[in-house]
Structure 1
Amino acid sequence: MRSLEGSSIINNKRAIVVGIPGVGKTTVITRAVEMLNTQGLNARLVVFGTVMFEEAMKMGVKHRDEMRRLSVEEQRRLQENAAVKIANMKDDVIIIDTHLFISTKEGYYPGLPLHLLNLLKPTNLILVAAEPREILNRRMNDKTRQRDLVDEAEIAHELEIARIMLASCSILTGAPFAIVMNREGRVDEASHELANLLTDRRAR
C-alpha cells in the first residue's frame, strides 16, 4: 500500500462515494476519513440522508420516516437544500455517503439526478465494490437488516448498473470516477486506496 505521508490536497475535495448494499461502503469510508485526519488533513464524512433530515426538521419533521410521506416537490426541495449546505462546506476533504440508486417496481430510481450533481459539484466519484459472492455472504450474515433474497447473478447485475450510472454521472459532471474493491478481510487496504484517491500523491 502506498503511504499517505507527503500527500497534499489540491484545493477542496468533495467526493461522492456510493456502493450497493453489502459492499461495506460505510466501514471503508469511515476508516478512510480516520486515515486522512491522522495525516493532519481536515476530512469529514457527510451522510446525505442525515443532512436531508436536518433540513426536514426545520420544516417540523420529527422522524426520518416522515420524509417519505412528503410531497415530491417538498422532497426535491429538501434534497436541494441539503446539496447546497454540503457544497458550502470548507473542509479539505468532504466524503459524501449516499445512494446511487434505489430499486423500485418501476425500475432503478437515481439517487443522484442531474440537478443534485449540479449543486454538489463533486470533484470525485467513487464506487465501493466487492465480488458478488462476498456481497451475498455479507447480506446473509447481516442480521440487523431485512433485505430481499437475491442470488449472485442479481448482485452482479446491480454492480453493473452501479458502474453504468456512476460513469454517466462522471460524463455529466466532468469529475473522474474510480472503483475501490473492498475484498474480504482487506478493508484497510480499500480505505487506504480511497484516501489516496483524494490526495495529491506527488513523489518527494
Structure 2
Amino acid sequence: MSSEIAFVGDVHGNRPALSGLWRALVRRETSHVIFLGDYINKGSQSAGVMQDLIAHRRAGRASLLAGNHELALLDAIDRQDLSGFLKMGGAMTVKSYVGRRVGPDVFADFIAAFPPEHLAELRAMRTAYETDELIAEHIPSNSPTAKFHISAHIPVGELPRIGSRTARVDTGCGTDSGRLTALLWPSLDYMQVNSQGEVVP
C-alpha cells in the first residue's frame, strides 16, 4: 500500500458514486481517505452513504469531517425541529432513513428511524484535518496560512480547482451531471467518477 492520501469532496447522497470512487481508490492502494463533509441531502441514498462511510471509518481506512449539512442535521436533532434542515434538501435524507411515507410528525418518524450509531458518528466528526503540510476542511477558509488548503462546499464545475496553495474539490456530486472527486496527496493528481460511479477518464 502506498503512502498516498485522498481527499474527497461532497457526496450528497449519491451511493453509486461513492462506491465507484472507493473501488478506484482501493485499486490504487491509497493508504487513507479523508472525506470533507456533506454526505447527506440532495441525493436519494443518504442513509446508505452514511452506512458505507461509517464502515470505512471503523475499518481504519477513512476519516470523516463534518460539512455544513451534517452540522445542520445535528442542530435540527438537538432542537427537535427539522424545518431549517428540510429547506436545504433534507427531505431526501429523511425519506432515505424512514423508507416509507412520513406521517404528520416528521421529526418523530425520522428520529425513530435514525440509527443511534449514525448520531454518535455525526457528533464525533471533526471539522478539520491538519498535518505539518496541509489543512483540509469543508468550507474554504480565508485565514492566512502557509499550509496547502483543501476544501469542498462550493461547486467549482466538472473539474477540481487546483492552485499553488489551494484545492477545491466539490464537483457537483448529488446532481445527475455532477462528479465525485478525490484529490490525491502529495501528487495533486485527482480521480473522478460520474453520478453512476463510473471512472471518468
Question: Given the two structures, how large is their TM-score scaled by the length of structure 1?
Answer: 0.30
- Relative contact order (C-alpha < 8 Å, sep 6+): which is higher? 1
Question: Given the two structures, how large is their TM-score scaled by the length of structure 2?
Answer: 0.30
Rg bigger for which structure?
Answer: 1
